[in-house]
Amino acid sequence: MNDRRVVITGLGAVTPLGNDVETFWTNLKNGVSGIRLVEAFDTTQHDCKIAGEVRGFEPKRYFKNPKDLRRTDRFAQLAMAAARMALDDGGIDLERVRRDRFGVIVSSGIGGLKTLEEQYRILLTKGPSRNSPFTIPMLISNMASGLISMEYGLQGPNLCIVTACATSNNAIGESWRTIKFGDADIFLAGGSEAAIVPIGLAGFAAMKALSLRNDEPERASRPFDRDRDGFVIGEGAGVVVVEELEHAKKRGAKIYCEVAGYGLSADAYHMTAPPPEGEGAARAMQLALEHARLSTSEVDYINAHATSTGLGDISETRAIKKVFGDRAYQVPISATKSMTGHLLGGAGAVEMAACALAIRDSVIPPTTNLENPDPECDLDYTPNVAREKKVRIALNNSFGFGGHNATLVATAFEG
């Protein structure tokens, strides 16, 4: 089964840069920031007052039954929208595919935090008799996958992988693995997050993880810059159609790229900090390249995890050097979180879409706000302006709290 090739045939994204893939991609290429002062709630008592919010989102467009909106958390609504976009973009006629071989792995790092916060407030102020009977289904992280399968009658493998900020990459990677093993032909895979709520913002701020550059939000996310002071939380969803090659060919699907490799590892080091030399991240990248049967000399682009934290950016830089050696200085890298903020469990799939589009359009998006490079971050991070370059092979890195590392390899499709 391992010779089954796997491709990406559809993209869906709801992001701070736009509520569809092409708007997101246009803004990403142009270096537009989606980070603003938080509008969803009053941040007067919060130290951090900025985030990458999804604006103008109309969830009712993506549900057959309007009643379902009252029974779903925002993270699931975002996931449903991205899944619908990916299906439409992939040109999938559900009447012409085997739904028992159509799987869903759409995950979330945190799940229904908004629901949890709201329902706990009701519990404290009105008593347990007033809590919604949908409290638990709304907040559990697997509900995005469950709802998508119910909406479209998809009866194949269905699960939720929760690995913090590596979640989406693991979802895509395990879809790839399941297809190669022969247990499915096609997946909707990715992740979603909607943690821009008071407890979410307060919790990350209490860790001293967030940027406090409240007076200039667009310049707050500064990966690899010596003046960075933390990451910016974002929300959104990314879902891609992951499909066995012959299955895609038979239905005449357009092919964005091939998923050629997937590597994962654990740091076994610290709850929230990466090891200084990036050993775990390096192992994930190396394994992904080995699965893809590719050498470092063939890689054209790296979409870095690069959240804009002091430890994280340096650790990833060292990991890239560990894997690529001297060639690390020749590979263009970009940190798209400089524009979107950090979408947590939704980040990897949105960034996989960026890799697919970089391959399609021969454009590498920039790392914005890179004005004063950290001396320990001395690679080519595509500073501030997108670059036209043929991209045949791209690496997509995602690393999460708990020491979870996941790397995907996307390649231009050839025959």
404 classed as catalytic: no
- Band (313; pLDDT cuts 50, 70, 90): very high
Above 70 in pLDDT, residue 236? yes
Q: Which of 247, 257, 291, 305 is catalytic?
A: 305
46 is known as an active-site residue = no
Catalytic position from the list 165, 257, 355, 377: 165
Could you tell me the pLDDT band of residue 3, with boundaries at 50, 70 and 90?
confident
What does the pLDDT read at residue 65?
84
Which amino acid, one-letter code, is at 3? D
Distance (Å, rounded) from C-alpha 237 to C-alpha 110?
Answer: 13
Strand partners, 373: 225
> Residue 1 pLDDT more than 70?
no
Q: Is the pLDDT of residue 261 over 90?
A: yes
Q: Which amino acid is at 351?
A: E
Q: Give the whole-angstrom CA distance, residue 239 versus residue 85.
A: 8
| CA distance to 205, 278, 347, 404, per residue, from 269 (Å) | 22, 11, 23, 10
pLDDT, one tens digit per residue, over 45-104 is: 999 999 999 999 999 999 888 888 889 999 999 999 999 999 999 999 999 999 999 999
Chain mean pLDDT for the chain: 97
Q: Which domains can be identified in the chain, with CATH numbers? A: 7-250 (3.40.47.10), 261-411 (3.40.47.10)
pLDDT value at residue 230: 97
**Helices 113-126 + 74-89 axis angle, to 10:** 150
Other beta carbons within 10 angstroms of residue 396's beta carbon come to: 30
CA distance 367 to 365: 7
Cα distances (angstroms) measured from residue 154 to each of 56, 105, 158, 170, 174: 29, 11, 9, 20, 17
Report the C-alpha gap between 217 and 43 in whole angstroms. Answer: 14
Q: Residue type for 414, please? A: E
CA distance 64 to 60: 8
Among all chains, which residue has been given the structure tokens 């709520």? Answer: 197
Over the stretch 187-201, which tens digit does the pLDDT of each residue have?
999 999 999 999 999
Q: What pLDDT, on the 0 to 100 scale, is given for residue 66?
A: 82
Region 208-227: mean pLDDT is 98
For 276, other C-beta atoms within 10 Å of its C-beta total: 11
pLDDT in tens, 281-291: 999 999 999 99
Alpha helices of 153-225 — where are they, by DSSP H?
A: 167-181, 198-206
CA gap 241, 33 in Å, rounded? 27
What's the pLDDT score for residue 63?
Answer: 87
Helix ranges (DSSP H) in 182-326: 198-206, 245-250, 279-292, 310-324
| Digit-coded pLDDT (tens) for 167-181 | 999 999 999 999 999
- Give the residue-averaged pLDDT of 308-331: 98
Arithmetic mean of pLDDT, 93-117: 97
Q: Which pLDDT does position 67 carry in this prediction?
A: 85
pLDDT tens, 11-30? 999 999 999 999 999 999 99
pLDDT at 246 over 80: yes
> Left (φ > 0), alpha (ψ -120 to 50) or beta: where does 353 sit?
alpha
Instruction: For residue range 341-357, list pLDDT tens digits in order.
Output: 999 999 999 999 999 99
Spot the catalytic one: 257, 342, 355, 404: 342
| Nearest C-alpha neighbor of 306 from the set 334, 328, 327 | 334
How many percent of the chain have pLDDT more than 90?
Answer: 97
Residue 270 annotated in active site: no
